[in-house]
Amino acid sequence: PIEISLNGTPLRVPEGINIIEACRQAGVYVPTICYHPRLKAVGKCGMCTVDIEGAPEGGVLACSTKVQAGMRIRTDSMPVKARASAAISRLINRIRSRNAIDVAPQASRDFADLMHWASTSGNDHTSHSIQINPKDCVECSRCTRACRDLQGIGVLKLTDSNLAPIQSTEAAGLASSSCISCGQCTFYCPTGAISEVSDFAPLRQAIASGKVIVAQTAPATRVAIGEMFGLEPGTVSTRKMVGALKEAGFHFVFDTNFGADLTIMEEGTELLARLKAGGPFPMITSCCPAWINLCEKLYPDFIPNLSTCKSPQAMLAAVVRTYWAEAIGKQPSDIFLVSVMPCTAKKDEIIRQDLGREGYRDVDMVLTTREVARWMQEQGIREWAAVSEADYDNPMGESSGAGMLFGATGGVMEAALRSAFEMGTGQRLEKLDFQSVRGFQGIKQATIDFDGRPIKVAVVHAAANVRKLLEAVRADPGHLGLHFIEVMACTGGCIGGGGQPKSNDPLVLEKRTRSVYEIDAQKTLRRSHENPSLLNLYSHFLGRPGSHKAHELLHTHYQD
Ligand code: HC0
Ligand code: SF4
């Protein structure tokens, strides 16, 4: 650590951090709109200037200036505040000019129509998952940086147009671009000018028409939803979340973690079959829909490598519509199934051809973690503390710790290794934790000894890293010797999904991840292939993993 002085108070801070982080650590507010700890600082909004003793007048940008030993920083001087308010005023004027468009009551009808048209003319509603309503844009460029730098996609641009400052690089709209619907842009957007496509009307209609209203909740939602109600990132809210869903109109709540266990049975069996047959390698996980979009759009040569398994949300949905519908004596179309997901690309996934049969879709609607919290709030839930806890419904409420791991980067790999090792070698793993595939390194590699046979695996997260790894695999005739790759399009995996609560906490992803591993560690049931409810489903309905019926319901095809 080094010593600095902040507003006259001595302060010890880590070396190499920028001034704005030092101020935050000391609880000193510095206004900014374009800065986010996980994005490259660009000093775009100009609000965060601070004075430094001995430095020229006009100050320095706190977001892009590093602290130095002995630095004497002031955030509370009149010139600092004057500069910040000038920058904020410029921004407010620009937004107001766009929204001025609220015309006087005496205006003529055609003038009002023109203004309304102008203020919505830049809207982009071409995508199934992501929408742009640029009227609310504050031109901070956080979305463009997320898309370009974190994801390596780069399909958003800032323009000079005051009415449509943020646009897709494709004139025909986002849907025609290489957008993978990951939603990272929506997570970083401070205002909601770019957001998930959101419409509660079908849910309201389903409730009004007396359907059986069912939810399933993804692994990563339970360690994040509390943030929407003011709790610390990483607070485990599993039973609260189920209780809140019940209070908010859902009759049954199932756990996507059960679907994750089911995926492991199918995907582990597929891996073992490929190991026996000698390929095709590397097998690549298929549960991240933004990755599937990326693969189909930009890496179609990897389609044969994709696991044929549907994702856990899709597998669980297929079981709800068939096995469970019959068990409760209902027609599949009597059920309205909502997937509560940390992800915006799941909205793309549910309209894929294989996710439905005979005139209905398996999943009716995807709500992101942010949206479901808004739905709960609309239904009158304000205080998280006042919500009664509840348990998942069975049989799709029982799940293993391995299923929980799906929510973090490396987790699908770890869950698959636990089961594939034990199913393939007939031996019992002594140590269930595979530390080598955990953590935030962009590309992780490990070699696991399957009873004398070395199995080489890689884990990659954040689309920019995915592109790097795939290009390396493509360039090597021996595909780097890899047997199996786990791909997640968002940093940290699903816990960092584009539909998760927005946060400026630099450690938010780490906090959520820690809780994912804690939930697994505290379970007695930590292997997917030992989930009793799942084994029961196989013996009463599906047959063996990889059976004809399993293929019909749980596996899929891809489009190149
Ligand atoms: Fe995920 Fe999933 S783990 S993609 O990250 O595989 O969204 O949380 O629900 O389907 O289980 C997201 C999270 C899921 C699925 C699971 C997978
Ligand atoms: Fe870029 Fe992902 Fe946003 Fe699409 S959803 S614009 S790929 S960040």
Q: Which two tokens stand for residue 372?
A: 């479901």
Task: Return d(Cα 120, Cα 193) in angstroms, integer.
Answer: 12
Q: Which two tokens stand for residue 72?
A: 């004497």
Give the residue-averaged pLDDT of 284-310. 98
Query: Which residue from 137, 118, 123 is spatially nearest to 173, judged by alpha carbons?
Result: 123
Q: Which atom of ligand 2 is nearest to 180's Cα? A: 7
Ligand nearest to the CA of 497: 1
Q: Which two tokens stand for residue 271?
A: 């891996």
Cα 534 from chain centroid?
26
492 DSSP β-pair partners: none
Q: Which atom of ligand 2 is nearest to 489's Cα? A: 2
Which residue's alpha carbon is at the smallest distance from atom 2 of ligand 2? 182
Ligand 2 mean position, distance from CA 358 (Å): 33
Mention every residue, 6+ apart, whose C-beta is less than 8 A from residue 8.
74
Q: Tally DSSP H helices, then E strands, for the chain.
A: 19, 19
| pLDDT averaged over every residue in the chain | 96
CB of 156 closer than 6 angstroms to any ligand 2 atom: yes
Percent of the chain exceeding pLDDT 70 equals 100
Give the residue-averaged pLDDT of 381-401. 98
Q: Which atom of ligand 1 is nearest to 349's Cα? A: 10
* pLDDT for res 100: 64
Given a contact cutoff of 8 angstroms between Cβ atoms, the answer to whether 174 and 194 are in contact is no
User: Has residue 70 got a pLDDT over 90?
Assistant: yes
Task: Return d(Cα 339, Cα 205) in angstroms, integer.
Answer: 17
Give the residue-averaged pLDDT of 239-254. 98
Task: Return d(Cα 497, Cα 181) in angstroms, integer.
Answer: 11
DSSP string for 184-229: HHHHH-SSSSEEE----HHHHHHHHTT-EEEEEE-GGGTTTGGGGG
166 DSSP β-pair partners: 158
Residue whose structure tokens are 């006087």: 104
With 0.90 as the threshold, say if the pTM is over it. yes
Residue whose structure tokens are 């015309």: 103
At 29-51, the pLDDT tens digits run: 999 999 999 999 999 999 999 99
At 71-88, the pLDDT tens digits run: 999 999 999 999 999 999
DSSP string for 131-144: EE-GGG-----HHH
* pLDDT for res 560: 76
* pLDDT for res 559: 85
CB of 343 closer than 6 angstroms to any ligand 2 atom: no
User: Has residue 507 got a pLDDT over 80?
Assistant: yes
User: Has residue 267 got a pLDDT over 80?
Assistant: yes
Q: How confident is the model at residue 175 (pLDDT cuts 50, 70, 90)?
A: very high
Q: How confident is the model at residue 99 (pLDDT cuts 50, 70, 90)?
A: confident
Q: Which atom of ligand 1 is nearest to 495's Cα? A: 8
At 333-345, the pLDDT tens digits run: 999 999 999 999 9
Q: Which two tokens stand for residue 194?
A: 């770019």
**In which element (H, E) is residue 533 found?**
helix 532-537
- Does 58 or 264 have the greater pLDDT score? 264
Choose one of 156, 168, 186, 296 to mutate for the ligand 2 pocket test, by most ligand atoms within 8 angstroms of C-beta. 156
Choose one of 288, 316, 459, 495 to mutate for the ligand 1 pocket test, by most ligand atoms within 8 angstroms of C-beta. 288
* pLDDT for res 357: 79
Which residue's alpha carbon is at the smallest distance from atom 7 of ligand 2? 179
Q: How confident is the model at residue 146 (pLDDT cuts 50, 70, 90)?
A: very high
Ligand 2 mean position, distance from CA 182 (Å): 5
Q: How far is CA 483 from CA 17, 33, 141, 275, 315, in A?
A: 39, 44, 39, 8, 24
Low-confidence winner among 112-116, 240-244, 428-432 (lowest mean pLDDT):
112-116
CB of 150 closer than 6 angstroms to any ligand 2 atom: no
Q: Which atom of ligand 1 is nearest to 259's Cα? A: 11
* pLDDT for res 37: 96
